[in-house]
Amino acid sequence: MKFNALQTVLALLAQLVVLTHARATINQQILSLKEANSTLIQYPTQITQNIVPKAIHSHNDYWRDVPLLTALSLGVASVEADVWLVNGTLFVGHEVQALTKDRTFDSLYVQPILQVLQVTNHRSPFTVNQTGANGVFDMDGGLPLQLLIDMKTDGPSTLPFVVKALQPLREKGFLTTFANGTLTVNQVTAVGTGNTPLDGVKALEPRDVFFDAPLTQLNDPSLNTTFDSTISPLASTDWESAIGWSGIGSISESQLGNLTQFIADAHALGIKARFWDTPEWPIFARNAIWQVLADNGADWLNADDLEAASSF
């Protein structure tokens, strides 16, 4: 008995030595591969390597030090740019006093998105049989990036400039498009919000700028619109006025009833639901609201604190 126990301990020790040795050998190999900048540990679409895409909307994304890329680095699959039309150019910022000549819709969004997509869609002898393009996320090439464009200046005059500004993405075939009765989901889905004119969006042919529909009015006859995903892949509403729960204490039955009704209305039309202006603080209240949203099928978490949302 005693002898057997000793034998077992010795056998375990021997195994540990082998494992430790194996781990050291592997770590050594990893180090040499890295030191030699070996091509074995490099691959072309590394730009978003290991980033898990998440259904988070980066509210006021342009406020971040580095718009778009910070969001992508956290796996955020929806970003938002506030655009102002001045002298024929779209500038990005929350208020006019925040605008500068360098921070344009083209320089902060269109060109960086194009660059990421050029990396994830690089051509090589291995891609010759590939049909269709990859999206921004290496881990889920089929997932589109949602680009919300909040038109701050007059809608009917701004929309044509937004359509024009998206041309570099359009000509590469990267934009989700509704044409000839068919909706084709591509790598970037552009959705107008703010002053975006519904009639202007409906008149686009082909249509590759869509309309952020009013989530609480999807079946409101006064809007003269049969909403569906060919007009609005997304419908949004202000949390405060639509639901009103602060996240502290329990959500009431009628608030929960409203919430599930709005989400069900959207889903019945093939539209995704988003609530904005959800409280950011206290943190426990913010998290309680995120939890209720996730539990009840809201499609996007609207977040200012992307790190918190991405680790939620």
Largest CA distance in the chain: 91
Write phi, then psi, for 234 (nearest 5 degrees).
Answer: -135, 140
Nearer to ligand NAG among residue 27 and residue 254 (C-beta) = 254
Residue nearest to ligand NAG (CB): 179
Q: How far apart are CA 204 and CA 179, in angstroms?
A: 9
DSSP H helical ranges for the chain:
2-35, 69-73, 105, 111-120, 155-165, 167-171, 198-203, 239-242, 253-268, 283-295, 306-310
Residue 129 in the binding site for ligand NAG (CB under 6 A):
yes
Looking at residue 175, the DSSP 8-state letter turns out to be B
Q: Exactly one of 128, 131, 249, 311 binds ligand NAG (CB under 6 A); which one?
A: 128
Asked if residue 168 has a cis previous peptide bond (ω within 30° of 0), the answer is no
Binding mask 3-42 for ligand NAG (x = CB under 6 A): ----------------------------------x-x--x
Binding mask 141-170 for ligand NAG (x = CB under 6 A): ------------------------------
Q: How far apart are CA 129 and CA 133, in angstroms?
A: 12
Count other C-beta atoms under 10 Å from residue 284's C-beta.
Answer: 10
Sole window of 102-110, 112-120, 187-195, 215-223 interacting with ligand NAG (rule: CB under 6 A): 215-223
Q: Exactly one of 19, 223, 283, 294 binds ligand NAG (CB under 6 A); which one?
A: 223
Sole window of 57-65, 138-146, 157-165, 217-225 interacting with ligand NAG (rule: CB under 6 A): 217-225
Looking at residue 250, the DSSP 8-state letter turns out to be P
Cβ atoms of 186 and 117 closer than 8 Å: no
Contacts of ligand NAG in 239-298 (CB under 6 A): 242, 254, 257-258
Contacts of 231 (CB under 8 A, 6+ apart): 198, 201, 202, 207, 210, 211, 213, 225
Written as six digits, the tokens of 256 are 């929960």
Q: Exactly one of 3, 126, 131, 249 binds ligand NAG (CB under 6 A); which one?
A: 126
Sole window of 26-34, 158-166, 219-227, 289-297 interacting with ligand NAG (rule: CB under 6 A): 219-227
Residues, the chain: 312
Instruction: Tell the smallest beta-carbon distance from residue 205 to ligand NAG (Å).
Output: 9
Nearer to ligand NAG among residue 237 and residue 302 (C-beta) = 237
Residue 87 in the binding site for ligand NAG (CB under 6 A):
yes
Residue 43 in the binding site for ligand NAG (CB under 6 A):
no
Q: Exactly one of 86, 203, 268, 283 binds ligand NAG (CB under 6 A); which one?
A: 86
Q: How far apart are CA 6 and CA 27, in angstroms?
A: 31
Cβ atoms of 298 and 274 closer than 8 Å: yes
Instruction: Tell the smallest beta-carbon distance from residue 7 to ligand NAG (Å).
Output: 50
Bridge partners for 78 per DSSP: 57, 146
Q: How far apart are CA 193 and CA 299, in angstroms?
A: 17
User: What SS3 class is residue 54?
Assistant: strand
Cβ atoms of 43 and 119 closer than 8 Å: no
Instruction: Tell the smallest beta-carbon distance from residue 262 to ligand NAG (Å).
Output: 8
Nearer to ligand NAG among residue 199 and residue 295 (C-beta) = 199
Residue 216 in the binding site for ligand NAG (CB under 6 A):
yes
Residue 224 in the binding site for ligand NAG (CB under 6 A):
yes
Binding-site ranges for ligand NAG (CB under 6 A): 37, 39, 42, 86-87, 126, 128-129, 179-180, 206, 216, 222-224, 242, 254, 257-258
